[in-house]
Structure 1
Amino acid sequence: MSKQFGWRSRLGGSVSVVAIALGTWLTPAWAGDPFRRENPRNISDTTEQAFEAFFRVGNYPLAAQQVELALSEASVDPILYAMRASLVYLEDPDNLPSEFKDYATLTRSRAEALVNQDPLRGNIYIAVGHFLEGAYALKNEGMVRGVPTALSKLQQVFRHLDRATAVDPEDPELNIIKGYMDLMLATNLPFSNPERPIERLQTYAAPEYLAKRGLAVGFRDLNRFEEAMAAVDRSLELTPENPEIMYLKAQIYVDSGDRASSLPWFDRALAMREQLPAELVRQIQRERDQAQRRVDAEQASNR
């Protein structure tokens, strides 16, 4: 997939990096909060389970079931609408339906209803909602209408993330989302400095497995392959059954020039294809086939 998809296909993550779960890492007060040891928020266990299926396990059919179950609860967390938008996106990234925009707007509106009660998380997900709405405009409205809308939405994203930062600049949930966004921009825009988002992910973001995953993607795109491999190995250690992390490790091998070592990791990811969206499976297979052709050509030239 082309570089413009960068952090969607090649991060093994998704357009919205908006939730994570750890399990026993959490304090008992609100067991559903996947982010915080201290000052946990009232996030339901069902929402946490949906998030675990999405990001820790990388099982998208299970995540879809858990999201729908959590959306039936009396109080719906804005993170759920963001995950639902991401699931729609992953079904066909090149042809976003209006349903994607609907969930993006629900993310923002539910966050706006939360902001007086919890200005930190309210502003985080207002930003996420604007980000998703901007992505829809950029994808579906063409350059003339889409780019100005997306840029306006990006301004709103930064405005609300700044408001969340003013509440608690060291909050793990804020820093996992802001770290991903900032590193994505830093690795795709000229003259950008990636060191600040790298520090953010290394120091403040949680849970660790998702922070390491983001660092692996960023280091890969910066051609810092030794650091990328160390980060992806740690993410794999923490989430050993996630096929997207296996896929990410294969990509790091390819980008570093060691295509032969990538093949077993592509194969391990493909062996778990039932967990993944069909378009992502096709992408993994394409990259695996390309790597195999290069390996075969190199071996033939050395005979």
Structure 2
Amino acid sequence: MDKRFCYPSIHTFNLTKLASAGLAVFVTLSSTLGANALDPFRTTQPRNIGDNTEAAFKAIFLQGDYQAADRFLQKAIATEPSEPLAYAMKASLAYTNNDIAGLDTYSQKTLETAQKLISTDALRGNLYAAVGEFLGGAVILTRQGTVNGAPAALSRLRKVYDLLDKAEKISPQDPELNLLKGYMDLMLAVNLPFADPSQAIQRLEKNAAPQYLADRGIAIAYRDLKQYDKGLQYADRALKGTPDNPEVQYLKAQILRAKANKDKNPTMMREAVSMFDKALTRKSQLPSGLVKQIERERRNADSSVANLGK
């Protein structure tokens, strides 16, 4: 974003939400690929991120298959040790499994690997150094709590944006940069008062890639902003690129449920239940905690059908 946030004004509640939302960014991030199969972001000046890192990326973001992604990431760490994206995805998977030690280990590896990359690829080196700093801040908040950990976490957040600024000066229209920064700016805008998400949405729409991930990020933002018609529009766009991804199906189900509650529409609520069920047909691919969450929201949606329209 062009406008900066005043860090001391961030309330501890918002900081907690921001940490959770930001980690979701890197889970959501960390066929539709570009011309070079080993770079899912760029069609020009592609980087070779490695076979196993690329396979893990596809497993998570195209297929929503966390189990396959973890297997590919184990191979990537052994065979592609200089690729920071592999460690960032591994850190995010650790978070989804409530493995704080793993989150700590792989956030540090993301940062260390990115710092080494700066000398040969300053754009991606600074970008993933920012990711590593952010993940490190999440470790602090998780271990120390919001009140005790807030000062150190906010210091990390300043470093994150300093590093993103360095990357942006190198290549302001880079798709990978705009995807990650666009997601982060959206999470900040949604979770902080008086923030404007329009610039972040424009960043994702114009310069981010792959498109299905940009569309997914915008759908999440509109869901959280309670602009459900726009949220459904972008969720449908994301589903065109990843029609079998259970996480995107789940996202659409959430938006349908919220809109059905708002409009008192039992027919739409039944559609939401059907979409929750569709996501759950691939529950073996997902982390157990996420499956329980989808099942709980599905039950709540189903039980509310009879009360709508009265």
Same topology, TM > 0.5: yes
Match of 1:226 among 216, 225, 229: 229
Q: In structure 2, how many angstroms separate the alpha carbons of the residues matched to 1:177 and 1:244?
A: 18
Q: What runs of 5+ residues in structure 2 fail to find an aligned partner?
A: 1-12, 261-267
Equivalent residue runs for 1:132-211 within 5 Å: 132-211=135-214
Residues 18 and 82 in structure 1, CA contact (< 8 A), matched pair in contact too: no
Residues 173 and 206 in structure 1, CA contact (< 8 A), matched pair in contact too: yes
Match of 2:121 among 99, 115, 118: 118
User: Cα gap change, 1:12/1:192 in structure 2, threshold over 3 Å: closer, same or farther?
Assistant: closer
Q: Deviations over 1:33-62 (max 9, x none)?
A: 111011111211221111100111100000
Matched position secondary structure for 2:70: helix
Match of 2:74 among 49, 68, 72: 68
Give aligned-pair identity as a percent: 42
- RMSD between aligned alpha carbons? 2.2
2:47 counterpart of 1:41: yes
User: Cα gap change, 1:252/1:8 in structure 2, threshold over 3 Å: closer, same or farther?
Assistant: farther
Residues 77 and 86 in structure 2, CA contact (< 8 A), matched pair in contact too: yes
Residues 7 and 15 in structure 1, CA contact (< 8 A), matched pair in contact too: no
2:269 matched to which residue of 1?
A: 259
More helix by share: 2
Q: What runs of 5+ residues in structure 1 fail to find an aligned partner?
A: none
TM superposition score normalised by structure 1? 0.90
Letter paired with 1:297: N
Letter paired with 1:143: T
Equivalent residue runs for 1:13-52 within 5 Å: 14-19=25-30, 22-23=32-33, 25-27=34-36, 31-52=37-58
Residues 25 and 183 in structure 2, CA contact (< 8 A), matched pair in contact too: no
1:293 to partner: Cα distance: 1.5
Matched position secondary structure for 1:86: helix
Matched position secondary structure for 2:79: coil
Match of 2:290 among 257, 280, 296: 280
Letter paired with 2:91: A
Matched position secondary structure for 2:62: helix
Q: How many residue pairs end up in the alignment?
A: 290
Residues 26 and 89 in structure 2, CA contact (< 8 A), matched pair in contact too: no
Q: Deviations over 1:254-277 (max 9, x none)?
A: 111242221000000111100000
